[in-house]
Structure formats: C-alpha cells, structure tokens
A and B are shown apart, each in its own frame.
Chain A
Amino acid sequence: MIVAKLIDTTLCIGCKACEVACQEWNDQEYTLGTFNGSYQTMPDLAHNFWNLIRFNEVERNGAQSWVMSKYQCMHCAEAGCIAACPAPGAITQMANGTVDFVHENCIGCGYCITGCPFDVPRLSPATKKVYKCSLCSDRTAVGLEPACIKTCPTNCLTFGERDELLRSAEIRTRELKADGHAQAGIYNPAGVGGTNVIYVLNDATQPEQYGLPKDPEIPWTVRLWKGPLKALGAMVFMGSILGAFFHYVIFGPQDPEKHGHPEEEPTHEA
C-alpha cells in the first residue's frame, strides 16, 4: 500500500510549524541565518533543514497574493535519486513508497542531488553524506504520522493512502473551481511516475509560482548512464578482453623471426 502526503497549498498559512516539527523530531542542529530579504526561513533546503516553506509574492488578476508552499522530498514513484545512486542500498524505496536514505550505505557522491528533478538532497559538510526528508520513516513504521503532517494546524497537510488522497485532492480541486479558481488543479507529475507528495494548487498552470518544476522527469543523461552506457561499457570492456584473448589464441605474439620486417627504409621521409 502506497502512502502519500497531500499538500493543499490553498490552506497553507505559511506558519512554518512543519519546518520546526521536522527539525525537532529529527534532532537537527539549528542554524542562525542572515537576513535574506524575505519571510522565508532560508533561501534553500539544507542538509539539516529538510522542509522549507517558500514564500512568493505574486500578483494575480491585479491583486496582491502571497503564495506559500512546502518544499521537501517528493518521494517520487520513479525517483531520480535512486536512478542516479551508485551505492547499492544507499537509497531505498520502501514497500509503502517512501524513498529513504540509508546513511550507513551512503557514500556521499551526490549523484542523487543531480538525479533529483526537484533539487532536494543536500550534502552535509560534516558527515559528507546526503540528507533529505525520510517521511519520518521511524514514525510511520509504528503508525504515527510524519511530524510535519501532525503539527500542521490548518489541515493543509494530510497523510494517508495515496489513492484516497488523490481522490480528496480531486474533490478539493472541484471545490476550488466552483469557488472561482478556474485554474485549480493537482500537481502529481507523470514524468517521475507520479509523486507521493501531491499538491493542490490554486493555479496548476503555473507550478513555478509555487517553486515546483513544470514537467519534472528523471534526466535523460541519468537514464543514459544507468541504461545504454552500461551496456556499451560492458560491450567495450568484454570486447577488449575477449578480443585480446582470441587474438593471442589465433595469432600469438609478434615475432620478428616469423613475421618479417617492416619496410627497412622509410618510404617517405617525414
């Protein structure tokens, strides 16, 4: 059974409780930042900050609006990080769909950072390993909701069975459309096989306003690397080794006695 988070951005009040609950539950070290000209806690996610509310002041239909949306691991069905990860067992997709990092196995190469179409994993300068939201796998394993979900005051965040959440997201979208938000919709991008973090957006035609990529997918170079290039490499390496072996079997080593000399004098002086 696949579980998911539903983020109804229309109910988000940017209170950042989820940020803190995440920090607190995961015993993160807090960092004191510098002023960055915004209400946003920090410009970007960090190895010790897995869940960021992005604040975006935009104008919609001539009126001021302030878009707040949660930014964290999307737990993709087809995860770019897993596709890119070279260390066996370092990233695992659990039976419930959670994409979790196993830090004992992480080698800190950062390929997952490149593979992730949402730019989520972050390298710790101290441990040289990569970190991101675990969907509180320690909590979900014992039947508790992830910390961010539990703390969310406005029910902007819900946790549950993915299909059920998709259904309620559809209902919510219909409500919003009826309420005059013609562009309302669900963000569950197909390019990564759907995400286990699903958004309801007031304006699904512009996910960028929420800091979400329009058409995320596993990068083709990652697919190339993990697919065709592996085959090509295997062919080249095996071809070289076998070719050399059979060359030796058939022709043996070069032997001046047997094989005659090249032309003694240069035909063309360089």
Chain B
Amino acid sequence: MSKNSSRRDFITRSAATGASTAATLTGAPAENASAAHIAPLKTANTTKYTSICPYCAVGCSVNIHTLGDKARNVRSAIVHIEGDPESPINRGTLCPKGASLEEFVQSDRRLTKVRYRAPGAREWTDLSWEEAFGKMAARIKASRDAGFEEKDAEGRTVNRLENVAMIGGCTDTNEINYLLGKFRFGLGILAYENQSRL
C-alpha cells in the first residue's frame, strides 16, 4: 500500500511513460559544484498513498504524501499531493484544481465541528455529535411519522415517505452511495436527486 517515495518513483514513472529523461541528465549534485544550496526534497521522508482526484470524472490518480505515522496522538499531515505516474489516464499529470488538492484537503475553511442553527437564530452554535444525532433522528422520525404512507388512496401498499427529500452523493464513493440508497429506501424516501441529474 504505501511506499517511501524515492528515486524509484522517477524510475517507475520513466518506465511507465517512456520519458527520455533519466536521473543522470538532470544534473545530479555530485557533478555540480554549486548545488549545495539545493533544498532537500520535501517529499523525502513521507509516506505515499494512492488516491483519486475528487473533482471531475476524468479519474486522475494522485499520490498523497503524508508525514506522521498515525500513532494514537498523531494526525498525519499531508505534505504534498501529486499526479500518479502509473495511472494510464493521467500519467502523473494533473489539471490546476488537481495540482492543488493539498489546498483543498487542508483548507482553513474546512468544517471541524458540528454546527447548529436553531429556528430563527442569527448565528451558528456548536453541537456535540451525540446531541446532533439525537436531535436529527428525532426530527426525521417526527416528519416520517407524520408523512409516511403505508397505503395509497387506492389501498395499494406503497410504503413511501414524500415529505422528506434527499440530495447528494456524487461527490462520494460508490459505497457511500450504496449506503445512502439503503438509508433512503429504509426510510421510504422517493425524492432523491444528485448532481448527475443537474
């Protein structure tokens, strides 16, 4: 799964793309009297993970370089995200959005707490997950109990819920979508749309 990135990356990349560059021609420091200033490679001691760009549907593979070993008190930090040279789709290349995925993952605007806005309130307040799940489940149940139709006007079993809608999913994996489907059909929700249809 993870490999330490090294020169090997480059060699596999070259092999994969048939690129003509080789380590020797890039001016290795040894032959270069004035190379002492060159900064150490920032991905030198990172762990590399394989992932897929979350933006458009070209499906570019990316390598995520992280620091930190995920020990109990360590949240590994993403140092850099770069195109995966082995992917036949992108061969290491990325578009301007993909090339800055690190900014996206580590944006200072990421949500890190459950936010709650009470009816009529002008501000968000924080909520714990436990409180949030309790409240949300209660709201859903109340609406479902009010709106669930076991039989339609003609007496046919329809088991549907039409006063709650669900949207989303196209930003997430198949598996999440499958779970959302079970959630949806478990509740009986029919109004369910996603970005693929807009």
Contacts and interface: CB of A to CB of B under 8 A. Distances in A.
Touch between chains A and B, by CB atoms below 8 Å: yes
Interface of A: 1, 3, 15-17, 19-21, 23-25, 27, 30, 89, 92-98, 100, 102-104, 137-145, 147, 150-153, 158-161, 164
Contacts of A98: 27
A138 B39 contact: yes
29 contacts: A3-B26, A15-B95, A17-B93, A17-B96, A17-B99, A19-B96, A21-B94, A23-B100, A30-B103, A94-B32, A95-B32, A96-B25, A100-B37, A137-B27, A137-B35, A137-B38, A140-B26, A141-B26, A142-B23, A143-B10, A143-B21, A144-B9, A150-B82, A150-B83, A152-B93, A153-B95, A159-B21, A161-B20, A161-B21
Nearest to A144: B10
Interface string B1-36: 000000101110000000111111111110111110
Contacts of B10: 142-145
B86 interface: no
Contacts of A30: 103
B80 interface: yes
A150 B19 CA distance: 11
B102 interface: yes
B41 interface: yes
Given A17-B94, A150-B83, A160-B21, 7 more contacts: A139-B41, A141-B38, A144-B10, A145-B19, A151-B82, A152-B93, A161-B21
Contacts, number: 121
The 10 closest A-B pairs by CB, nearest first: A96-B27, A143-B23, A140-B26, A92-B34, A143-B10, A20-B99, A102-B37, A20-B96, A95-B32, A21-B99
A168 to B, nearest CB: 9
Contact of B83 (A95, A151, A164): A151
A147 B102 CA distance: 14
B90 interface: yes
A24 B25 CA distance: 25
A194 B180 CA distance: 60
Nearest to A19: B96
Contacts of A21: 94, 99
B25 A160 contact: yes
B51 to A, nearest CB: 16
A15 B38 contact: no
B40 interface: yes
A24 B100 contact: yes
Interface in B94-109: 94-100, 102-103
B21 A153 contact: no
A157 to B, nearest CB: 10
Contacts of B26: 3, 96, 140-141, 143-144
Contacts of A150: 82-83, 92-93
A143 B58 CA distance: 28
Contacts of A16: 96
A138 B19 contact: no
Given A17-B93, A153-B93, A3 B99 contact: no
Contacts of B41: 138-139, 141-142, 144
A3 B20 CA distance: 11
Nearest to A143: B23
Interface string B119-149: 0000000000000000000000000000000
Contacts of A96: 25-27, 32
